[in-house]
Structures are given as C-alpha cells and as structure tokens.
Structure 1
Amino acid sequence: MTSTSRAPRQRETWTSSTGFILAAIGSAVGLGNIWRFPGVAYENGGGAFLIPYLVALLTAGIPILFLDYAIGHRYRAAAPLAYRRMARPAETLGWFQIGLSFVIAVYYAAVIAWSLSYFVFSFDLRWGDDTGTFFTGEYLKVGDPEISATIVPGVAIPLVLVWLAVLVVIALGVTAGVQRVNVIGIPLLFVAFLALVVRAVTLPGSTTGLDAFFTPNWGALTDPAVWIAAYSQIFFSLSIAFGIMVTYSSYQRRKANMTSSGLIVAFANSSFEILAGIGVFATLGFMANQASIGIEELPGLTGPILSFVTFPAVISQMPGGTFFGAIFFGSLTLAGFTSIISILLGVAASVGEKFGLGQKGSALVVCLSCAVLSLALFSTTSALLALDTVDQWANNVGIVFSAIAMTVLVVWVLRKGPTLKAHLNAVSTFKVGWWWILLVGALAPIYLGYMLYERVRTLITEGYEELPQWFLNTFGWGVIGLVVLAAILLTLVPWRGRDEPEFVPWPPLQEEPASLLQPGSSTTSDILRPRLPEQEEPR
C-alpha cells in the first residue's frame, strides 16, 4: 500500500499553552544558564554586559525563536519534514539540524550523569579537600588525548540511569511524558534555585562576588568581542536553530498564541540566567573571602570546572554544605534533564515521521542508539577531552552554520518570510511586521557569519586547548562531517511515513508578495489580520 492511501495520522498536541510554555522554558533553561552565563558576563564587562545582552535578545534571540515557532507551527512537523513541506530539497537542512541534536544529546547525557553523581556525593562531601584532583582523577580518571575503550564504572552507571529515564519520558510522548515532566520540574527547579540564591547572598563575602558580577566596565562596550559574546550567549541559551523549537511548536494547538508564548519563554530564560549569575557570584564571593583572594584568582568561573571543581570546594567550606550541595547538583541535574528530553523529542519525531514508526518505536530506536554511543564515548577515560571538543564544534560551528543556512534559505531563497509573518500574525496577539523579516533575513546572517568566520579561523590557526590535531580532526571536524553526510543520506531515503502526503497549510493564507517586505504596502493590513476559518482543515 502506498503512503497516499494510508489514513492521516492525528498529531498529538500540548494540552494547554501553559504546558507548551513550561516545556519550552525547560528546553531553554539548561546547564549553560548556570555555568556559562555568569562567567561570560563577568569576563565581558560585568554589569555593562547586560546592555549588549538585552540588544542581542531583542534583535536576534526573539526574532529567530519566532522563526522556529512559525516553521514548526505552520508546517506541523519536526525539522526535516517541516523544511520539506516548504521545498523538498530543504529537507537536508532539517536533517542537519536533527543530526546536531543527536550529537549534542549523546554527550549532554554524560554531563547530566556527572551532576547526578555529584548530587549523591554532596551528602557526604565525598570529593574531599582537593576537588580538582577528585573530579579529573578519581571520578573521571582522565587520561591522555586518545580514543579510549576503558569504561569508568562510576560514570557509566548513572549514565545508564539517565538514558533509561530519557527513554521512558520520550516513549510516553508529548503530553504524558515531556509535558508532565516540565509541568512538575520547571516550577520545582525555579523554587529550588531561588532557595539556593537566597542562601548564597546571605553568606559572608557574598557582596564581593556580586560587586564583581554587576560592577560595569563601560569601556567593554566598544569591544566587538563583547558584543559577539552577547549574541553567542543569547543564541545558544534559547535552543534555537537546531530543530528543537520547530518540533515543540509543531505540537502546539492550531489557534495557539505563538508570539506571546515566545516572549514569555525568552524573558523567563534570561531571568533565570541573571538569577543564576547572582547565585553563582555570591557563592564565589564567599569562597574568595574564605581564601582571602580576589574573585579572578579562583580556579574556574565557567563550564564543568565551575560546577564540579569550584562549587564543591565552596560547599565543603560553608555551613550546611551538604544541603546546599544537594540543591545545587539537584538543580543542575533537573535543568539538564528537561533540556535533553527536548533535544531527543525532535530526533525521535523526525525518525518516526520519516520511517513511519510509532511513538514508542521511534523513542526506542533513537534513545538506544544515543545510549550506546554515549556509553562507548563518554563513560571512558577520554570522556572529558572528547566531550569538550565535540561541544565546541557542535555549538560554535555546527549550530551557527545551521542558523545562517536557515535564515538565508527561508527568507532569501524560498521567500517564505512574508508567509511566515502572516502565519504568526494570524494566530497571535503580538504582531510582527517587516522589521521581523529584516532582523531575521539581514541582521542574523551578518552577525552569525562573522561569528562563524572568527571561530573557524581561530580553530584552524590556533587549534583548541593544545590538543593534538588528529584528536581535533576526529572529534571536531570529523563529527561535523559525519552530520553533513548523514543529512544527505537521510534525505535520499524514500519516505515511509504517513504524514508527508496529507499536509494542508493552516490558516490557508495566500503567499505574500515580496513588496510586503517594505512598510506601508497597500495590502499589509489585509495580511496582518486574515480571517481564521471556523474549523481546522482535515489532518
């Protein structure tokens, strides 16, 4: 039987806008909010960094988030099928984005496993006095840069538990699995982290850390690198341009208010980042006070070193450290978990749509594949170095390239900007105008192109962390090459799913002429306020 004769598949939807918003916040609020933003802000002007950060949020983060929402909500599918419905050759970009999600999930789970281990360690302060040696030596057993097959049981066991939990949630689906976890988890995360921040600001020396975090260095605003850092932080923290939000919005109800939801998600994510900055630097101020040193002399202000070396050292010195540690690492685990299920939902949905697999079948195939690779690569003695390298290339090369390709393809090649603008305005109370297409189609490719050029130039000319070139070629450029190859091959595979032939756009808007890119067009008001049909089209 051909796919055209199969019955249309009913698409699952979020039960409410609240469920969608909490899930989207859960995706955006992840490990980077806690261990990346505070250090980036401190190193790029302190309080003055909030100015380029806000500009980046308004001119790049929110507009590209709206673009993801518009694509997913209008074309009712995960990234590969959504792009295919715009133009068949564009499917390859969707698979490239999903390939990046797959890669990120494989190593992201390892960091969640570390957080889960440290949650247990916090009850007896098992890391001892030398937290750096414990993390890299006793716990991870880090060796030389190599492709190691030596499994570290202390990492492998919690990693298996993480993958079992992810499999269960993805197999349960959008409402019974992903939505339920986020409806419970996100309020719990905010309450727990708020309690952590309140405790941090009452510690001796906390004001020293807060002064370091908020004191503005206005001269930094003239440094282009500071603005690039701001755009980078916004771009990476909102989970945009690699298929996650396309998938999430595809499960949103037909008449859902998309732009208002996007604004809530974006500002909630930024609020959590600022809250994390307060908590982290108040804690670092306490540590600096105890050691009678400056903030800048502490061992690590960003990344895994901050979370698994610096923070355990602080926890060991503070009153009630075991409780504080449990809250911190519990929050880190929860933030990571809500993010990874959003990443894997997009991958599972894409595989299910392409190959006609059911919800449980696609979840099983994707999660088991990820789990095997995750255990083989990131529970070994080479895990830390391999993880750091893959993360650097996936985020700073892969996702940035994906965003450039997406904005150029959608706005300039396929000319879908006006249609997507009309779609957002048809279902939303907050209307977008020609300025949105200008930001997405012109500003975004320019700043993203500069970011990509600078990063690739640096990686080629200077390498990364003094690692050998063969290691960078394998876990850096090699991983990006595999994602490109997989995207091409998956595009060539015939569609076996039931969804692709039955798609009918809704609302049934007419394609907007290119002239609507300019304000003042005679037909703009008609497009901005199209009538919504009384009933949805058959699926």
Structure 2
Amino acid sequence: MENREEWGSKIGFILAAIGSAVGLGNIWRFPYIAYENGGGAFLIPYFFAIFTAGIPLLILEYSMGHKYRGSTPLAIARASKKWEWIGWWPTITSAFIVAYYSVIISWAMNYFVLSFKQGWGSDSNVFFHNEFLKLSNSPFEIGGVVWYVLLGVAAIWIINWIVCYKGVKKGIEKINKILLPTLVVIMIIIAIRAVTLNGASEGLNTLLTPDWSMVLKPSVWISAYGQVFYSLSIAIGIMMTYSSYLPKKTDINNSAFVTAFANCGFEFLSAIAVFAILGYMATAQGVPMSEVVSSGVGLAFVAFPQIFSAMGPIGNFLGPLFFLCLIFAGITSSVSLTEAVSAPFKEKFGWSRKKVVTCMCIIGACMSTVFATNAGLYLLDIMDAFINNYGIVVVGLLEVILIGWIVTPKSLREHSNKISYIKVGKWWDISIKFITPAILIYMILQNVINEMSAHYGGYDLFNLIAYGWSAIGFGIIVSLILSKKPWKDKKIEEDENEEEDRLILEEINK
C-alpha cells in the first residue's frame, strides 16, 4: 500500500479548501440572496449561520478527516461502522454535481471566447437559450449533443484528470496556489472598475441598505443557512477528505475559521462587483434595480452579457475578466469534487490513485454528456435543486446527529483543541447537538412543504421524479450497497503502530 499522501504545507491545504468553497455560487448566488433577504440586514442571520453551522461543521469535518485519517466513508466507518453509508451518500452526490458542474464551466469557457467580440448579439436571452444551448421544449426531449459545449466539457475533465492524477501535493495543491490568488486579483480588478461606473452607487445602496423588518422572517434565516451550506462545500465529502491529508500536528480550528472568513470575504467582494455593474445597467436603462437583478445562470449568461454589450469598450474589458473568474472558480471546485469521489474508491478497493482517477474521469465525462444535450439545462436545473435542497441538507443533518448523539462532539473537540491554537469551547457541542440539527430539520420540512404546494420550477411531477427524486434515491441505494462491501486494503483500516487507530477499530468491532 502506498503511504498516505499529505499536503506540502498548511497554506496549500487552506488554499485548496478555500478553492473548493469559492465557486460559482459565490459570484452569482450570494449577491442576489443578500439583496432578496434584507440587504445589509441579511448580514445578521448570515453571520449567525456562519458561527452556528458553517464554522462548527467545518471543524467537525476537518476533525473527522484528520483524526480518523480517511476520506469521508472511511472516516465515518472508523467512527461508527453502522453509519458508513452516510459517507458514501455525499460521495455519490459529488459525482452528480461534478458531472453537471463541468457543463456550466464549459459554458463559461465558450462565453469567454465570445466576450471579446460580444458574440451573443443584441438579444442575450434568445442567444443563450435558442442559439447557444439550442434548448429543447421539455426535459424528455433530449435532442442531440451541442458539440462546442461537449468540447469544453472534455477540456474540464482532462484538467480534472491531470490535476488529481498527479496527487495531492503536486496536483491539487499546486493548481490552487496558482488559480485561487489569480481569481481573487481578477475579482478585485473587476470590483474596482465596477464601482467607478455611472450608477454603481445605486446598485451598492440597493445591496447594502438594511431592511430590518426582514430579520424577523424565518425564511430569511433559512436562506442564510442555505447559503452557508451551499458555499462552504459542507456535507459533500470534500472537506473531510482534504483534511485527511493533513500532517498529524495541524491547527484544525484556525484553518476552519480562515476558510470560512476567506469564503465570506470573496462573497462580499463578488457582491460589490455584481451590484455595481447592475446599478450601472439600471441607471443606463432608466429602470429600477428590481428589473435588472437576477441570480444563477440567468445572471451570468443573460443579464451580464447584455450589460457588457451596453458598456461598449468597457464591456470588452470586463466581459472576458468576468468569465475568466467563472472558469477559475469552477475549476478549483471541480477538482475538489473529483478528488472527493476518487479517494473513497481508492481506499475501499485498494486501487491505485492513477487507476481510480482515470476511471472516475472517464465515467464522469460520459455522465456530463447528458447535460451537454439540448435538454441539458432542464436536467441540470432539476438535479441541482434536489441535490441542494434535500441531498446535501439531509447529509448534513445525519452528520451532526452522528457526531452530536452517537460519537459525541467532546471527543472531536478535544482532538482538535489538542493541536490547535484557538480552542473551541462547549458552544461547539451545543451547536452540533441542538442548534444546527434544529435549523436543518426546519429547512427540510420547509422544502418538503414548498414542494408539495407547488412543483419545483413548474415542471411536471414525472420530470421531477425522473431527474430529481431518482438522483436522491440512487445515491442512498448505492451508498447502502457500498457500505456493505469490505475494505480490501486492511492496512487502511488497521495500523499496528497507532494506538489511536487500534482503539477506533475495537469500537467498530463492538
């Protein structure tokens, strides 16, 4: 068996963790969520969510991966063998996410090329849906493959393969040391130029003006917790796997705080840039901000191209930078997802890294092909909604139940405090046992109630079952099957020289 890989430095791990957390959602989701939920007042529930769920769950996942020295399934199996399947569910979920995530990055790559000559024309909405995606009429009308989207998908999977094939230190750490600082510099340049645009102040005032009445609404708090989950790569197997590559003496708690606040900082920077540009558009058109504000795919590939076209020469400068940001943010996240899927199979079946990564990238590229068809946007929209609203949130709930009520948070807290400069107190135990589970249960119930009152996106129930609920069900079934299979490489489960590992295995055998 090859020795367990380790990060070359602590900063390498932190950059990789931040690179995973900083993704497309920071750029196109957070600004809109903040605007929709009270502007500046949203910061109160947002930071409360960071301290009661974001940081506690990061500490939980960092501590689990570091203490039990394994990817998510192995770490959870060592904590409690009966719960191993919880580690496999986010692994399967990550496989779905990276399959459609690579398609979005492919869109950004294509738009990066188009942005130099503003090739989306005068109507960016018609261009994106009809000419670029060649969108079909329904989710079941698959149609053909859009070849230039597929070409971009192939490029992303080649990058994922090269980076993960080279390993943790020479691949993942190295690319994050290059891409993440570059991404931040580009976003700073965009933000500085954006705030000097005519009308930028209107956009920033709209974003930051607090509506204190919104703070009292439960839906706003749910949105805050949802954003924290969405943006910190929690409960999808990445952070536990990444932390398993840390040296034995590593500051766990401080790393969690740095990761969380660095992610927050990038979200605020993105929000400033996005709303300054939207303010310019509203002023130029003489319309209220509410008419130009949007989120997600519509913001990136419809609203912003329209704005860049209206800017003239300035748009030729900001357009390529914006789509380059999307590409870099997407790549750092897709690499982390690829590793989160590959590492468990490598450990479970005793295969080499090169074999697992190669097989995973080939299978992943084939899965992505479905999202590069004429119906790809429908499939992506449905699957992403169900994975985020149900899959990830439920896994997070199961994690805190496992640690809070079965393994007990005290054991993990003592482990992390022993090697950390910042000591976390019993507030962490309270968050893991009571606060976070209560919020997550409420989120799940609200999602179910909303789904029962009105089908997501106006889709037919059969569409949602085929592409949404089936993805959740498939993840659970495969997770249960994989958890029943033995770990092929016994050296992974037992190290005669480590007293702590022997005690863990004795607990598993009980």
Deviations 1:171-223 (A, max 9, x none): 11101111000001110000011000001001111111001001110111111
* C-alpha displacement of 1:493: 2.2
- For residue 345 of structure 1, the aligned residue among 339, 343, 347 is 339
Moved more, 458-467 or 439-448: 458-467
Paired residue secondary structure (1:242): coil
Tell me the secondary structure at the aligned position of residue 320 of structure 1.
helix
Q: Match for 2:11 among 10, 15, 18? A: 18
- Indicate which of 401, 404, 414 corresponds to 1:422: 414
Partner of 1:400: 393
Please list the CA deviations of residues 4-33 of structure 1 after superposition, one character each: whole Å capped at 9, or x if unmatched. Answer: xxxx54111001111001001100000000
Q: Which amino acid aligns with 1:398?
A: G
- In the alignment, the residues of structure 2 paired with residue 304 and residue 507 of structure 1 have an alpha-carbon distance, to the nearest angstrom, of 51
Q: Show the 5 A alignment for 1:107-186.
A: 107-147=100-140, 148-186=142-180
Q: 2:65 corresponds to which letter in structure 1?
A: G
Residue-by-residue CA offset, 1:297-356 (whole Å, 9 max, x unaligned): 12x511000000000011111132122111100011100110111111011101100111
Which position in structure 1 is the counterpart of 2:440? 448
For 2:330, give the aligned amino acid.
G
List alignment gaps of at least 5 residues for structure 1.
1-7, 512-539
Output aligned runs, 1:361-510, within 5 Å: 361-375=355-369, 377-415=370-408, 417-503=409-495, 508=500
What's the secondary structure of 1:465's corresponding residue? helix
* TM-score (normalised: structure 2): 0.96
C-alpha distance after superposition, 1:447-504 (max 9, x if no partner): 0000011002211331111111111001110110000111011112232235433247
Note the 1:45-64 alignment, pairs <5 A.
45-64=38-57
1:361-416 CA-partner distances (Å, limit 9, x unpaired) = 110111111110111x100011111101000000110000001111101221233x
Q: CA deviation at 1:277?
A: 0.5
- Equivalence for 1:522: none
What is the CA RMSD across the aligned residues, in angstroms?
A: 1.6
Task: Tell me, yes or no, if the aligned pair for 1:353 and 1:498 is still in contact at 8 Å.
Answer: no
Number of equivalent positions: 502
CA contact (8 A) 1:127 1:135 kept: yes
Q: Decide whether the 8 Å contact of 1:75 with 1:505 is kept in 2.
A: no
Give yes or no for contact 2:105–2:327 (8 Å, CA) kept in 1. yes
Normalised to the residue count of structure 1, the TM-score between the two structures is 0.91
Q: Does 1:242 align with 2:228?
A: no
Unaligned runs of 5+ in 2: 504-510
Q: Residue deviations 1:407-432, cap 9 Å, x none?
A: 101221233x1111111011111111
Whether the aligned pair in 2 keeps the contact of 1:74 and 1:505 (CA below 8 Å) is no
| 1:438 to 1:324, Cα distance in 2 relative to 1, 3 A | same
Q: Deviations over 1:125-156 (max 9, x none)?
A: 10011000011110011112233151111211
Pairwise CA distance, 1:505:
9.8
2:79 corresponds to which of 74, 86, 109: 86
Point out the structure with the larger helix share.
2
- The equivalent of 2:220 in structure 1 is 226
Alignment of 1:191 onto 2:180: no
Rounded Cα–Cα distance in structure 1 between residues aligned with 2:383 and 2:40: 31
The answer on 1:217 being equivalent to 2:226 is no
